Amino acid sequence: MRISTKTLATLLVVTAVAAAVPGISRMPGSKRRQESQFDRLLQRHDRKGELRSDVLGLNPYEFRSMQRKLSFDEIAHRRGFADKRAFRMALLGKLKNELRMRGWTTKRIDQYMTMRSGRLG
């Protein structure tokens, strides 16, 4: 995966907050901003879809081709996720596992999440 460690850590914190309180990151307003800030942040940092496709059990090429035809919710549902929260919980586990593979300890991950999640609230 080509995502930097700092970005993975940031996505971990944002994913934890978004999974804990559904709808917290949704922006009220026009239809074009229906997507939550979390979804837009994830799309920005996972441009090629490597992270999302790995969680969904697809290769990035298949994921991108499905995205042209279907919404993300439909793709996730077809891959066995009941809703966005279930996907976010799986993503949270994937991010933690990736950080552990890069040398982070569980204690360091928990400390980082505690420190950073306080700033988000």
**69-120 pLDDT, tens digit each:** 999 899 999 999 998 889 999 999 999 999 999 999 999 999 999 888 776 5
This prediction has a pTM of 0.81
End-to-end CA distance of the chain: 29
**Distance separating alpha carbons of residues 29 and 48, to the nearest angstrom:** 28
3-state SS of 24-72 is CCCCCCCHHHCCCHHHHHHHHHCCCCHHHHHHHCCCHHHHHHHHHHCCH
> Where along the chain do its domains lie?
5-23+35-120
pLDDT at 76: 94
Q: Are 27 and 37 in contact (CB under 8 A)?
A: yes
